[in-house]
Amino acid sequence: MIVKEKITHLQLGFLLFGFIAGFESMFLTESKLMKQDVWIANLFNTAAGLALFWIISFVQRQFPNLNLTEICDKLLGRWFSKVLLCVYLLNNLETISGGFRAVSMFYTTVILPNTSSDYLIFLYAACSTYAVYIGLGTLARTNLVILPFFLLGFLVTCLFIIPEIQTNPFLPQLKSSLPNRLVGSMHLFTFTFSQVITFGFLMSRVENMKKIFPSCAIAILMTNIYLIMISYLTLSSLGFNYVQTSTYPFFSTIQMVKFGEYLERIEVLLVGLWTVLTLVYVAVMQYVFTLVAGHVFGISKMKPFVVAMGLLCFVHTSKSYIRTADHFTYGIKIYPLSSLLPCIAFPVLLLVMTLIKRRREVKSL
Amino acid sequence: MESLHASASANLQELKRLYTGNELFTIHNIGKSDAYDEAVVIYLNSLVDEKRLNQFIIRKMNMDLREHSGPAGEVLLNSLHTLGEVTILEGIEEIINHIADANFVLIINGHVEAYAMKLPGFETRAIEEPQVELNIRGPREAFTEDLQKNLGIVLRRIKSPQLKAKSYVIGKDSQTKVMLLYLADRTDPQVLNELRQRIDAIQLDVLSDSMQIEEWIQDSTFSPFPQLLNTERPDRVVKAMSRGKIVIMTDGTPNALIAPSTFFEMLHPSEDQFERFYFANFLRTIRLITLIVSLIGPSFYIALTTFHLEMIPTPLLMTFLSAKAGIPFPTFIEALIMEVAFEVLREASMRLPRIMGQSVSIVGALIIGEAAVQSGIVSRPMVIVVAMTGIASFTIPYYSTAIALRLLRFPLMFLTAFTGMFGLSIGMFIVIFHVCSLRFCGVLYLDPIGTEGYKHSIKKIFLPPVRYRARLKRERSEIDVPNRQSHYFHGKEWD
Amino acid sequence: MFNIAIFVGSLCYGVVYFVLLRKRGKLSDAVIMLLLCGFIAGYNAPYIGKRWPTVEKLYNGLYTPLSRYIFSHLLSFNK
């Protein structure tokens, strides 16, 4: 068995931040639904994300020498574990396809209307396949290089959006309906920290397992602070009505950034950084997809399968979510439900089985 | 290996057979007889200092033969021992190797061994100023093609007994000497062992330059980025060794290789050490900016003028549009024409004799730039963009890194031409990803990024004042030792 | 054109690696590779490509009744 490169707990934390912060920031669907009450969704998201991460890291710490797929086999039995991992693989493929399609849809809508989306998806998939082929360590290091630029760009943007603030985004509070709050919170959680299970499959690659939870907890908190900041900046600068009708509200917000009276419309630079961070997101998902698929199907020589899996992600995306409206509706109504089993029930089941196993071991002693 | 006969004539016959057709092979009889049966001295006459050999060595041996009694072989051997260090040779192959290495060999009748002494008489270049790595302040010595001279320059600068030197002979026909230099108390033993194994595995017929060693031992053959630094400056070599690097010096080339090298070391010339720290850091920042300009300058211009016109301020946009009016080619083709012309000009100016080179390149640039604009092939802003990109690439101190950036500019331009900022972002991701993936003997190419936190990384990339560097070095010694597996990795991701 | 290229490319990739993996004695890997590439080629195959299964279709079929019940009846959410 080959020894794979390990990453540090800090790199994992940064990867988690880049993973979430990059992708979700463009859409802000929860801001459209909840408006000034969006902090409720973020609070729920933080709590749920931390809880889910704690569950997965607890399970991993009980079996420090095994990776999560092997832990599943040990706790759930080989065949039931394969079934659940297959469900996870379907969810992973669904997410990857959604990510690819979201990026291509964004570009063909606002920046490159004359370019075929298949061509953009192909380029994206080729890049992420290359990233998966090279490995997790390099991906984590690349994320470390890119994040400071992203944060700098974001901070400068926020600074220059402040003069455009026209509405008080905080008042009146608690005016959104309960269904909107529920749906918005579920939506935000599904698109951000429900994918924490993906990081569970990477935990065995971290050098110091005890430090995983503290550094990733900080990453989760920082991500939510970032999401709250951009939500409220967007609401205050665009206004509630425009946010509701705009497809990409944060993009519309950064279009308003001006440097003096001379330099404007620099949103394309931030979009470039967002594209790269979304690429990190899909690369991580695809990497875990490849790892788990290799385990489920018992593949010993994984190298040739990396390209095949990349090709699968590309062709699956090119046939999925073709209509924009369908894609958005799917994201609100189907995706939160389809993620329940692999992203929430699965880790909880692992926790329960771990506790049962521990109790049995204590009793036998 | 064929061993020697006791008869000098027999050995000589064999050597004559091997050197048939080589008129440089010289045989000089010692003693009175013309039959070469007493003792002979053999050598290649353009390698050995014939004047000293005849005037001092052979003359002394003949005198000692006349004045001393006893077996001729013993007398000659004692005489030779008084003149310098003698190497005992036991076979024909050893004789051949030593003759090729500017030795003369004494073959004595009745002895099954031969005796060699080094007496180089070929001319070597004097120590001059560096040709490529120029600086305003600091030492002005550069290496030459003579390995012994180069080793002397280095040993004058490092007097510690921890300095170790291991020699190799590489090249079946060239038998080129290669030296590995390092400070034993600072070098990573894992890297050293790995490097030694790689050098042992080199199989070449002729080793003429350190580049062949570099290509042979590097991890990633197809990467455009150089993974070893080569330098002609002794001060750079000494500084590298003091930081735990290993130096490979090759006979016949003035370039020494430093391993393992990192990407940031290739952006920092040795001159930074000789300037005040704030100026050095200012220049380092400028170089980082020019690195980005050199890589994405034309691509960024193509993206803005083809896909993202809204980003350009309106007055500037009007200027660009009026300059572009009447140009039949899209911006990408303009950029391609100008970049290729610039590369051709750059290459041509390197091949021309120095007297003509500078004036031709200036005139060429003026004519090509001005004529191309006047004839409506390219626009003026494009000429400025390409010129600025070229100047930015000249600020990269290490030539091989600058070449890598020049090469990568073209695929980025292609990507950007079809997909604008999307293509540029993807291209930059691939470049950064590739640089992050590179290692040499397990050590990261992008060190310290990825091995240490941001704070330590900034401390390593930028220079503190001299008095704090010693303190930093002591602190760093605790984290420099690669205990963590993430720091030093030698495996594969997928089976 | 692009679809045909992907179709042919994936089939060729599958066959080549099937042969290579069989030579290395990894029969199960070879079979999985062939099946996977066949499945991938199905997406771009003429006529059958449109009917080839995707996760979106599967989950739309599985979860639409549940989603309708939860969002329309329970939460009265219509967006």
**What's the rounded Cα separation, in Å, for the pair B166 and B248?**
10
What is the dihedral angle through the alpha carbons of A328, A332, A337, A343, rounded to the nearest 10 degrees? 80
Confirm or reject contact between C47 and chain A (CB < 8 A): no
Per-residue confidence (pLDDT) for residue B486, from 0 to 100: 46
Structural contact between residues B172 and B205, judged by C-beta atoms closer than 8 angstroms: yes
Mean pLDDT confidence for A67-73: 93
Per-residue confidence (pLDDT) for residue C55, from 0 to 100: 93
Q: Count residue pairs from A and C with Cβ separation < 8 A.
A: 101
Distance from CA of B443 to the nearest CA of A (A): 12
Closest CA to A178 of A186, A168, A188, A170: A186
| pLDDT above 60 for B475 | no
Max distance between CA atoms of chain A, in angstroms, equals 76
Mean pLDDT confidence for A46-72: 92
The model's confidence at residue A28, banded by pLDDT at 50, 70 and 90, is confident
**What's the rounded Cα separation, in Å, for the pair A207 and B483?**
11
What are the sequence ranges of the domains in chain C?
Answer: 1-46, 52-79
Identity of the residue in A183, A298, A334 whose CB atom sits nearest the CB atom of C63: A334
Q: How many CA atoms lie within 13 A of B70 on its CB side?
A: 11
Least confidently predicted of B235-239, B351-355, B406-410: B351-355
Is A266 strand, coil or helix? coil
What are the sequence ranges of the domains in chain A?
Answer: 9-364
Confirm or reject contact between A242 and chain C (CB < 8 A): no
- Residues in chain A with CB shorter than 8 Å from the CB of B303 are 268
Per-residue confidence (pLDDT) for residue A2, from 0 to 100: 63
Into how many domains does chain B fold?
Answer: 3
Cβ within 8 Å, pair B494-A302? yes
Alpha-carbon A117 to chain mean position: 22
Q: Angle of helix A9-24 relative to helix A178-191, nearest 10 degrees?
A: 130
Mean pLDDT confidence for A273-286: 91
Q: Which of C34, C50, C52, C54 is the best residue to mutate to test the A interface, defined by the most A CB atoms within 10 Å of its own CB?
A: C54
**What's the rounded Cα separation, in Å, for the pair A329 and B326?**
48
Convert the pLDDT of each residue in A148-188 to its tens digit.
888 888 888 888 888 888 888 787 888 778 888 888 888 88
Smallest CA–CA distance from A33 into chain C, residue: C79
3-state SS string for chain B: CCECCCCHHHHHHHHHHHCCCCCCEEEEEECCCCCCCCEEEEEECCCECHHHHHHHHHHHHHHHHHHCCCCHHHHHHHHHHCCCCCEEECEHHHHHHHHHCCEEEEEECCCCCEEEEECECCCCCCCCCCCCCCCCCCCCCCCCCCHHHHHHHHHHHCCCCCEEEEEEEECCCCCEEEEEEEECCCCCHHHHHHHHHHHHCCCCCCCCCHHHHHHHHCCCCCCCCCCCEEECCHHHHHHHHHCCCEEEEECCCCCEEEECCCCCHHHCCHHHHHCCHHHHHHHHHHHHHHHHHHHHHHHHHHHHHHCCHHHCCHHHHHHHHHHHCCCCCCHHHHHHHHHHHHHHHHHHHHHCCHHHHHHHHHHHHHHHHHHHHHCCCCCHHHHHHHHHHHHHHHCCCCHHHHHHHHHHHHHHHHHHHHHCHHHHHHHHHHHHHHHHHCEECCEECCCCECCECHHHHHHHHCCCCHHHHHHHHHHHHHHHCCCCCCCECCCCCCC
**What's the rounded Cα separation, in Å, for the pair B175 and B178?**
9
Environment class of residue B66 by beta-carbon count within 10 Å: exposed (0-12), middle (13-18) or buried (19+)? exposed
| pLDDT above 60 for B485 | no
Q: Considering chain A, what percentage of its residues have pLDDT values greater than 70?
A: 99
Per-residue confidence (pLDDT) for residue B442, from 0 to 100: 84
**What letter would DSSP give residue A3?**
P
Cβ within 8 Å, pair B311-A306? no
Mean pLDDT confidence for B303-325: 88
- Residues in chain B with CB shorter than 8 Å from the CB of A133 are 493-494
Q: pLDDT averaged over chain B?
A: 85
Cβ within 8 Å, pair A112-B307? yes
Q: pLDDT averaged over chain A?
A: 89
Environment class of residue A159 by beta-carbon count within 10 Å: exposed (0-12), middle (13-18) or buried (19+)? exposed
Cβ within 8 Å, pair A179-C67? no
Convert the pLDDT of each residue in A214-270 to its tens digit.
999 999 999 999 989 989 988 898 888 888 888 888 888 888 888 777 777 778 888
**Subunits with at least 3 CB pairs below 8 A relative to chain B?**
A
Distance from CA of A135 to the nearest CA of B (A): 6
Mean pLDDT confidence for A261-282: 84
Cβ within 8 Å, pair B429-A271? no
Which of the given ranges, B43-47, B88-92, B247-251, has the highest pLDDT on average?
B247-251
Q: Residue A121 is encoded by which pair of tokens?
A: 């998806």
Same domain (yes/no): B313, B251: no
Is this complex scored with an ipTM above 0.90?
A: yes
Q: How many CA atoms lie within 13 A of C2 on its CB side?
A: 10
User: What predicted TM-score, i.e. pTM, was given to this entire model?
Assistant: 0.88
Cβ within 8 Å, pair A182-C43? no
Convert the pLDDT of each residue in B340-399 to its tens digit.
988 888 888 777 777 766 676 677 677 777 888 888 888 889 999 998 999 999 898 888
Q: DSSP characters for A273-324?
A: HHHHHHHHHHHHHHHHHHHHHHHHTT-S--HHHHHHHHHHHHHHHHTSS-SH
Cβ within 8 Å, pair A2-B495? yes
Which one has a higher pLDDT value, C38 or B488? C38
Q: Residue A211 is encoded by which pair of tokens?
A: 């430090």
Per-residue confidence (pLDDT) for residue B484, from 0 to 100: 45
Mean pLDDT confidence for B67-85: 84
| pLDDT above 70 for B487 | no
Per-residue confidence (pLDDT) for residue C19, from 0 to 100: 94
What residue type is B159 in one-letter code?
K
Confirm or reject contact between A87 and chain C (CB < 8 A): no
Q: Which residues of C61-76 are buried (b: 16+ CB within 10 A; e: fewer)?
A: eebeeebeebbeeebe
Q: Which residues of B121-142 are buried (b: 16+ CB within 10 A; e: fewer)?
A: beeeeebeebeebebeeebebb
What residue type is C47 in one-letter code?
Y
**What's the rounded Cα separation, in Å, for the pair B195 and A101?**
46
Same domain (yes/no): B22, B110: yes
Smallest CA–CA distance from A264 into chain B, residue: B311
Per-residue confidence (pLDDT) for residue A309, from 0 to 100: 94
Return phi, psi of residue A80, to 5°: -65, -40
**What's the rounded Cα separation, in Å, for the pair A231 and A34?**
10
Q: Considering chain A, what percentage of its residues have pLDDT values greater than 90?
A: 46
Same domain (yes/no): B429, B288: yes
Closest CA to A311 of B426, C6, B422, B415: C6
Per-residue confidence (pLDDT) for residue A4, from 0 to 100: 79
Identity of the residue in A5, A272, A302 whose CB atom sits nearest the CB atom of B424: A272
Per-residue confidence (pLDDT) for residue A267, from 0 to 100: 81
Tokens 């990477």 identify what position? A202
Cβ within 8 Å, pair C36-A332? no
Identity of the residue in A94, A301, A308 whose CB atom sits nearest the CB atom of C13: A308
Return phi, psi of residue B252, to 5°: 95, -5
Same domain (yes/no): B305, B408: yes
Per-residue confidence (pLDDT) for residue C41, from 0 to 100: 93
Cβ within 8 Å, pair A308-C33? yes
Smallest CA–CA distance from B488 into chain A, residue: A5
Mean pLDDT confidence for B194-204: 93
The model's confidence at residue B473, banded by pLDDT at 50, 70 and 90, is low
Per-residue confidence (pLDDT) for residue A354, from 0 to 100: 93
Range of the domain at B388: 274-444
**What's the rounded Cα separation, in Å, for the pair B313 and B148?**
61
Same domain (yes/no): B286, B434: yes
Same domain (yes/no): B201, B284: no
Which one has a higher pLDDT value, B95 or B8? B95
**What's the rounded Cα separation, in Å, for the pair C73 and B245?**
71
Cβ within 8 Å, pair A279-B437? no
- Residues in chain C with CB shorter than 8 Å from the CB of A301 are 21, 24, 26, 29
The model's confidence at residue C78, banded by pLDDT at 50, 70 and 90, is low
Same domain (yes/no): B288, B419: yes
Give me Rg for the CA atoms of chain B: 30
Return phi, psi of residue B488, to 5°: -125, 115
Residues 6+ apart with CB under 8 A from B32: B38
Q: Residue B453 is encoded by which pair of tokens?
A: 């936190």
Alpha helices for chain C (secondary structure H): 2-23, 27-44, 55-67
Which one has a higher pLDDT value, B274 or B168? B168
Confirm or reject contact between C45 and chain A (CB < 8 A): no
Give me Rg for the CA atoms of chain C: 19
Distance from CA of A93 to the nearest CA of C (A): 7
Same domain (yes/no): B423, B288: yes
Per-residue confidence (pLDDT) for residue B480, from 0 to 100: 47
Per-residue confidence (pLDDT) for residue A311, from 0 to 100: 94
**What's the rounded Cα separation, in Å, for the pair B128 and B147?**
15
Distance from CA of A7 to the nearest CA of B (A): 6
Cβ within 8 Å, pair C43-A319? yes
Closest CA to A91 of A339, A346, A295, A348: A339
Last residue in a domain, options B73, B98, B118: B118
A9-364 adopts what CATH topology?
Amino acid/polyamine transporter I (1.20.1740)
Per-residue confidence (pLDDT) for residue B491, from 0 to 100: 67
Smallest CA–CA distance from B314 into chain A, residue: A262
**What's the rounded Cα separation, in Å, for the pair B403 and B224?**
8
| pLDDT above 60 for B37 | no
Per-residue confidence (pLDDT) for residue B483, from 0 to 100: 44
What residue type is B98 in one-letter code?
H
Same domain (yes/no): B301, B393: yes
Cβ within 8 Å, pair C79-A94? no
Mean pLDDT confidence for A273-294: 92
Same domain (yes/no): B433, B325: yes
Structural contact between residues A87 and A70, judged by C-beta atoms closer than 8 angstroms: no
Cβ within 8 Å, pair A316-C59? no
- Residues in chain C with CB shorter than 8 Å from the CB of A304 are 17, 20-21, 33
Confirm or reject contact between C62 and chain A (CB < 8 A): yes
**Subunits with at least 3 CB pairs below 8 A relative to chain C?**
A
Give domain status of residue B459, yes or no: no
Closest CA to A254 of A148, A110, A117, A143: A110
Give domain status of residue B138, yes or no: no
| pLDDT above 70 for B264 | yes
Tokens 């330098």 identify what position? B231
Give domain status of residue B16, yes or no: yes
Same domain (yes/no): B319, B439: yes
Are 3 or more Cβ–Cβ pairs between A and C shorter than 8 Å? yes
Per-residue confidence (pLDDT) for residue B479, from 0 to 100: 40
Q: Which of A29, A116, A245, A338 is the best residue to mutate to test the C interface, defined by the most C CB atoms within 10 Å of its own CB?
A: A338
Structural contact between residues C56 and A94, judged by C-beta atoms closer than 8 angstroms: yes
Residues recorded for chain B: 495
**What's the rounded Cα separation, in Å, for the pair A135 and A175?**
47
**Subunits with at least 3 CB pairs below 8 A relative to chain A?**
B, C
